[in-house]
Amino acid sequence: MKKLRLFLAVSVGFLLCIGLLILLLSTASVAKQRMEKWSANYAGRGTLFNLGEAYTVLQAIRSGDTNEAIELLESRLDLEVVIASSLVDEQTNQKNRAAYVRLLKKVRDYRIAHPRKTGSAQLDQSVEEALSSIP
């Protein structure tokens, strides 16, 4: 009788562990699917933005409005400078960090040669601070 109770207790415990494992695996699968969907959606938005931007710049160039094309690219550069400079310190891989710093230095030199004011003092200050923080 004791052996039967022990066997039943072990069996129930084993079945509970299997049930818990199945629950965890199914939850992980659902979480993975949601993450993949979110990731694809996020990437899709970035792609849509990039596609629209490329189209607009090319249309401006082909219609002879080079000033509009330059302004669109300069605006994008401002945005990317602020984002990239905030990511430099987060780079744990020294090669990646060096690549960020190297490119931001090139952009800083470009901005020195081609100064720009956007009409937004806050954006201009953010870009200036980002570029001046690069060693």
Q: From the centroid of its chain, how far is CA 57?
A: 23
Is-contact 84 91, C-beta < 8 A? no
What pLDDT shows up at residue 104?
95
What pLDDT shows up at residue 30?
56
Report the pLDDT averaged over residues 10-27. 53
In percent, the amount of the chain with pLDDT more than 70 equals: 67
What pLDDT shows up at residue 39?
53
What pLDDT shows up at residue 49?
81
Relative orientation angle of helices 121-132 and 94-113, to the nearest 10 degrees: 130
Is-contact 70 119, C-beta < 8 A? no
Q: Does the pLDDT value for residue 80 go beyond 60?
A: yes
pLDDT band at residue 33 using 50, 70 and 90 as cut-offs: low
DSSP designation for 89: G
Q: Does the pLDDT value for residue 108 go beyond 90?
A: yes
Rg over alpha carbons for the chain, rounded to the nearest Å, is: 27
Q: Does the pLDDT value for residue 19 go beyond 90?
A: no
Q: How much is the mean pLDDT over the chain?
A: 78
Report the pLDDT averaged over residues 104-133. 93
What pLDDT shows up at residue 36?
57
